[in-house]
A = this chain, B = another copy of it.
């Protein structure tokens, strides 16, 4: 049974693990969760397709087959995949940059984007390269999500005001808003404002009200999340009853009835080369968001998700979206939480949700012909404003100025130049700032705490020192970017202080010495030798020592390697009278 091949199968097909113990109780829990998520997902899917600049039905299609694919390949028991706000915005930016005007071409481009993104995710998963997503630091993600939320909310003003608005960055959006605000359709504006206000009240006021009227908190929470459905129903009825679509109020209109069509992504090399970088960014952002949700929910039940397998789960979901008329998808935060709170126990809940959405596309689409776009825009605005959180700026400022620079730059660049520029700059800046920090490590000159065997920074503590002996503790691994800094520091220290005869490097915090640093240590050793100074090492870690033993350094070292700094201090404390005599004792040490 537990053959290696079967285990490999199980690793790539998590469904084999949970399907074995699937019973009626689990099925009931999953079905209940699926019904609740389906109701929530219908308006959301339509709204996000609108945000992505795509026909509304593509949002529904993206919520069917991808959920089935995730149920087979995903490892999270509660994650609900589908169209989400930030990825929809990134899709709008990527497809918008192509400058297409034919709706069919736009739909094909969005599907191709999902396909490329799916391939990237799947390949990264199979190659177990999920760690690459870690190079997106938390401050950068937080800044990016906040700025994206603002861009999304502002972009929806066109539906609330019933005007034209363009641009994938804030300055362009604001400029075109003021250009067209005179063309506002007042009825659209009334519906948009009312729906937005209602949804804000649902979010802030309804839940406490329901709890006060005796509803259980969890049920109240889920009921409040159904608020958008009420807004959809009411505004659709109003638009239908008063014939508002004849008065310039834009409505969803005809949506083809029936199951998703089978679609083929484009294989045009020029389209692929234009969409590759956006697809990569969408993959990374989508993966990072989704995995963070999945981890949070898994921990609540002491379950575990596998990030590499999650890449495959999301990758196949996106490929599924691409071949069934959808566009890029990922795991959504709010729907996953609802799914979890509603009691979903296995990914089968996602498959049932897919059936629910499938039924909706078969039966309900004529009913939403009169659904005003302004209502969908209101649901988006209310949803994304919860993403906007500038507190990360304060947190970062208090904790670390370097992190603050990364988050502030990401926010400004995303707002000013769009999502792709923002997230790319954020990643490069995080890496650059990290390298900058580690390239100038903290170096402490240490002395002996009197009466102990401990050594502390001479600037912070009252410690004993010797004129001919200097001990430096480097608080960083030694690698190419900081090796010269250390060398310059030491050469600077000894040339301005002539009595120095012994230099000890305390290596407690050095987790690695790469080849560049090794060669720098060798050069430093030679240069100090030319000055009549010996170089010693103390408290070298096991793995570092293993490596140094494979090099020439220890043979050429003018000094010794001491197991403890205190040993070095004791042995080197008497000022050397005859260096030749000192040298003979070298063979006994280390």
Contact = CB atoms under 8 A, between A and B. Distances in A.
Interface stretch (A264-272, A360-368, A516-524): A516-524
Contacts of A356: none
A134 to B, nearest CB: 5
A480 B399 contact: no
A451 interface: no
Nearest to A543: B442
B527 A296 contact: yes
A480 B434 contact: yes
A395 B515 CA distance: 9
A541 B439 CA distance: 19
Interface residues of A, number: 72
B439 A131 contact: yes
A213 to B, nearest CB: 30
Contacts of A435: 135, 431
Nearest to A433: B514
A485 interface: yes
A570 interface: no
A396 interface: yes
Contacts of A556: none
Contacts of A302: 495, 530-531
A307 interface: yes
A525 B519 CA distance: 41
Interface in A521-555: 523, 526-528, 530-531, 541-543, 547, 550-551
Interface string A147-170: 000000000000000000000000
A336 interface: no
A477 interface: yes
Contacts of A514: 137, 400, 402-403, 434
A488 B307 contact: yes
Given A403-B514, A485-B134, A299 B509 contact: no
A526 B135 CA distance: 23
A136 to B, nearest CB: 8
B399 A541 contact: no
A48 to B, nearest CB: 27
A479 B140 CA distance: 13
Interface in A444-484: 460, 475-477, 479-484
Contacts of A551: 395, 398-399
A218 interface: no
A492 interface: yes
A80 B325 CA distance: 69
A334 interface: no
B135 A481 contact: yes
B519 A299 contact: no
Contacts of A441: 511
Contacts of A131: 439-440, 481, 484-485
A280 to B, nearest CB: 16
B138 A299 contact: no
Contact of A519 (B138, B476, B481, B488): B138
Contacts of A301: 530
A396 B515 CA distance: 7
Contact of A299 (B442, B460, B491): B491
Contacts of A216: none
Given A530-B299, A547-B399, A550-B399, A137 B304 contact: no
A477 B451 CA distance: 31
Which 4 pairs from chain A and chain B are nearest by CB? Answer: A299-B527, A137-B480, A138-B516, A403-B515
13 contacts: A134-B481, A134-B483, A299-B526, A299-B528, A395-B515, A398-B551, A399-B518, A400-B514, A430-B480, A431-B435, A434-B479, A441-B511, A460-B542
